[in-house]
Structure 1
C-alpha cells in the first residue's frame, strides 16, 4: 500500500518531536515518514500501524520504527471509545501517572509498559516493541505457564506502582487521579449500555447451546444467575471498601501483553493499552487475566501456584521500595475468592469477540453495519450461535468457561 495507506494524519513536526524524544537530541533532520499497515487486526478499540521515520544525523541516514494507535474508523466504536473516555484515560496514564511515579523516584514501570513519545488530539506514538524483539501471542491459544508468569510479573509491577506511590505520599490515588481512575465501562452511558445488553443476548445463546437436561441447575435458573452476575459487574469494579485498591489495567486479555523470548522462554513482558485502567484490588486483574488466557486444564493444575507466584512478585516489588504488608497474603487470597465470579463473567463476555478466528473477525469488523448490529444491536444472539457452529475453538473455550461458571453456581447451592 505504501504511501497511500494512512491510519491517521501524522505531520513532519510530529515526526520531529518523536525522534527528538527518542534520541534526546535536536541534532538531526527528518527526511521522510511512512505509515505501514499491519497484516492482522491488533485490537478492537483502535486502528494501528507501524510508523517509519527516516532521518539524517551526523551525515548518515537512519530509519526508526514506532507503533501508532488511532481511534477506530467505525463510528459506533469511536462513540464507544469516547463514552468510556478511553483517549483521556490513556493520555493521563502516560502524561500524568507515569511522570508522577518518576517524580517520586518510583521507576518500577521501566520495561513493564511501553515508552510513549507523542500524544496528539487523537493519536499515540509508542516504541515499536516488535522491532525491539517483542511478540503478541494469539488470543485463541492458551498461554504457557511461563508466559502467564511473565505477564503476572509485569502486572505485579503495575499494581505495586500505585501502592508504593500511595505509601510514599500518604494519600490515595483517588485524591489526585479521581477522574483518571474512575470506572467508565460500566458507567451507564449509552454505548456501553447497548454493548452490555447485546452481550447478555450472547450469554443467553451460549447457555442455550451448552445446556443439557441432566445438569444440576436448570437452564432458566442458570441464565438468571449469569445475567445477575453481569449486572453485578458494576459493583465489582468500584473501589473496594474491604480490600486495598491500586492501579488496575482492567482489560487484561492476551493482546494487551507483549513478550520477549530467549531460547524459547519469555524473559520479559510489557503491558499495553490503558484505555480502561481503574482503581481497584489487584485480584480483579489477576483473576480476570488467568481465566482469559488459560485453558481449564492449566487452571486445574496451576491456579494456586500462579496466585502464589503473583503475590510473591507483588510483595518483592513493594519491598524494593521499603513498602511491606499493605496487602497481606490472606487479604489477597480472600480477594481472589471474592472476584472469581467477576472474572468468570468478564471472560464469558470477552470470549464472544476476542477469540474469533481471523476470517470471522474480518467478516464482522470489515462490515460496519454488521459490527454495529452484533456489538451494539440485536444481532449478537444469531452471531454467537453461528460462530459456535462454525468454529471449534470458539466452541471449546466458551464451553470451558460456561462449565466453570456453572460449577461456581452449583457450589453455592450446597452452601
Structure 2
C-alpha cells in the first residue's frame, strides 16, 4: 500500500540531476533527451516497511518532444528522523554491503528476463539504493503474517536457485580468467564481516526476549533451568555456523528471505514468478543456509514437515539447471551433489530457526505498530540492545496470529536444539 505524501520532500531532495539522468538512461535507453515535467515522492507504505532504511516510492513524469513516459522507482535511504538508527546502519555497513550487491546484480542479472529473480539496480551508494519499482508490472508482497503454500514456496526457491547459480557461475568465470583461487570472500571481505548476528548486545537481547516470551506464553517450556543462557549459547553457535567452508560449495547468500523481501507476480491467481529484493545482509557460505532461512521465516512447521523434501529437491534441480558447464565441473571436483546439499540443509537448520526466532518479533508486526514500537529515537537503542520484551508482549495480547507464530518457532527451537540432545 502506498503511503501518504512525505511532507515537503521533493525529487531534488533525494536524487541529484546526475542520478536522475542515469536512471532515465538505464530504463529508457533511447538516446533521447528527456525532461522531468513533474514528480511525486511518497512513503513506500503507511508505517515501517523495513528495519535498515527509510523506504520511498518516486514517480517521474517525463517528456521528450511529443513523447511522454512515466518512471516509477523504489528507494532506500539512511533514516533521516532516527539518528541512533542511522548511526547503527552506517557503523554496520549495511548500505555498503548492498551497494556491492547491486553492482554485482548489474553484472549478472539477465537483461529483459521475463521471469527475473531480482529487480534492476539503478543507483547505489553508501547512503542510497534506487531500484526499478516492480509494482506496476504486477508484483506484490504478501501480508507479513501470511505463510506460504507450496506454489509460492516453489516459485521462490526457483529464484533463490537462480540467484545462487548466477553467483556461482560468476565465481567460476573469475577463477578461469583472473585467479584460480578467486572467491567472493577474498575479493570482497565485507560480505563475510557480520555486524549483528554474533555474540552482540542485539543477540543477547533476543535471547532475553525468547526466555521472557516462553515464560509468559508457553505451556511446555516455561520452567527450564538456565533457559536464557542455553538459548544464547545456541544462538551464538547458529551465528558462528554461517561461514565459508573448505571442500564444499560456497555462494553469496541473501540471508534475509522474509515475507516483505519476496515479491510475487500472478497469472489467473497463481504465482508465476518471485523476485528477491533487499541485499543488505549478504553473506558468503553454503547455499543451504538460505533455504533454511527462507523456510523458517515464511512457512509453518506443519508445512515443513509435509513439503520440505519436495521444496529442497525442486531447488536443487533448478540450481543445477541454471549452472554453466564449467561450474558443474567445479561441483563435480568438490563432490557437491544433491546428497551433499541435503547434508548441509541439516547442518544449517539451527541457523534458519535462529533467524526466525530472533526476527519474528519485528517482521511479523504490522507496519504501523512496528514503526511505533521500533522506530522511536527515544527507545530505539533500548529495544535493540537491552530488552525488547515490552512492545512484543503487548502486541501478542492484541494479535493472536503474531503470538502463535512465535510460540510455534520458540517451542520448536527448544525441542530441537535445547531440550533434545539428538538435535544438538
TM-score relative to the length of structure 1: 0.89
Measure the CA separation in 2 of the matches of 1:11 and 1:178: 28
Alpha-carbon displacement from aligned partner over 1:311-338 (angstroms, at most 9, x marks no partner): 1111111157762545311111111111
Q: Partners of 1:155 and 1:414 in 2: how far apart? A: 27
Distance 1:108 1:385, change over 3 A: same
Deviation of the 1:362 alpha carbon: 3.3
Does the 8 Å CA contact 2:253/2:290 hold for their aligned counterparts?
Answer: yes
1:98 aligned residue? 105
Secondary structure of 2:363's match?
coil
173, 176, 189: which is aligned to 2:183?
Answer: 173
1:240 counterpart residue number? 245
Q: Does 1:354 align with 2:360?
A: no
Q: Say if 2:172 and 2:327, in contact at 8 Å, map to a contact too.
A: no
**1:128-147 correspondence to structure 2 within 5 Å:** 128-147=133-152
Q: Deviation at 1:264? A: 0.9
8 A contact 2:60–2:70 mirrored in 1: yes
Q: Specify the SS of the correspondent of 1:250.
A: coil
* 1:36 counterpart = 2:45: no
Give the CA deviation at 1:187. Answer: 7.2
Q: 1:154 — aligned with what?
A: 159
Map of 2:338 onto structure 1? 329
Residue 8 of structure 2 corresponds to 4
1:44-55 → structure 2 map (5 Å cutoff):
44-55=51-62
Cα RMSD over matched residues? 2.8
User: What CA distance in whole angstroms lies between the structure 2 residues aligned with 1:154 and 1:354?
Assistant: 21
Aligned residue runs from structure 1 range 209-220, under 5 A: 209-212=216-219, 219-220=224-225
Answer yes or no: is the 8 Å Cα contact 1:288–1:347 preserved in 2. yes
Query: Of the candidates 112, 127, 130, which is equivalent to residue 122 of structure 1?
Result: 127
Q: Structure 2: how far apart are the matches of 1:299 and 1:6? A: 46
Give, in angstroms, the shift of residue 280 of structure 1.
0.5
Name the residue aligned to 2:116. 111
Deviation at 1:2, TM superposition (A): 6.8
Whether the 8 Å contact between 1:36 and 1:50 is mirrored in structure 2 is yes
Distance 2:283 2:86 in 1: 20
Structure 2 SS opposite 1:55 = strand
Cα displacement (A) at 1:275: 0.9
Q: Distance in 1 between matches of 2:92 and 2:114?
A: 25
Q: How does 1:384-395 map to 2 (within 5 A)?
A: 384-395=392-403
CA distance in 2, matches of 1:259, 1:320: 30
1:109–1:98 Cα change, 3 Å: farther
**How far apart in 1 are the matches of 2:212 and 2:128?**
37
Q: Secondary structure at the match of 2:279?
A: coil
Any unmatched runs of 5+ in structure 1? none
Instruction: Specify the alignment match of 1:70 in structure 2.
Output: 77
SS at match of 1:39: coil
8 Å contact 2:106–2:120 — kept in the other structure?
Answer: no
Question: What is the match of residue 252 of structure 1?
Answer: 257
Q: Is 1:183–1:276's contact at 8 Å kept on the other side of the alignment?
A: no
Q: Which residue of 205, 214, 217 maps to 2:212?
A: 205
Q: What corresponds to 2:178 in structure 1?
A: none
Q: Partner of 1:363 in structure 2?
A: 372
For the residues of structure 2 that align with 1:390 and 1:155, how far apart are their CA atoms? 34
Structure 2 CA distance for partners of 1:48 and 1:414, relative to 1, 3 Å:
closer
Superposed CA offset, 1:96-136 (max 9, x none): x235547xx99999811111112245212211110121001
Map 1:301-316 → 2, pairs under 5 A: 301-316=306-321
Residue 97 of structure 2 aligns with which residue? 89
C-alpha distance in 1 between matches for 2:423 and 2:195: 34
Q: Deviations over 1:155-179 (max 9, x none)?
A: 1111112222233333442365332
SS in 2 for 1:113: coil
Give the distance between the partners of 1:267 and 1:286, measured in 2 at CA.
19
Contact kept? 1:109, 1:161, Cα under 8 Å: no
Q: 1:33 to 1:14 in 2, by over 3 A?
A: farther
CA contact (8 A) 1:202 1:352 kept: no
Identify if the C-alpha distance between structure 1 residues 118 and 283 changes in structure 2 by more than 3 Å, giving closer, same or farther.
same
**Structure 2: segments with no counterpart, 5+ residues:** 176-180
Contact 1:281/1:335 (8 A) holds in 2: yes
Residues 204 and 232, structure 2, Cα contact 8 Å, conserved in 1: no
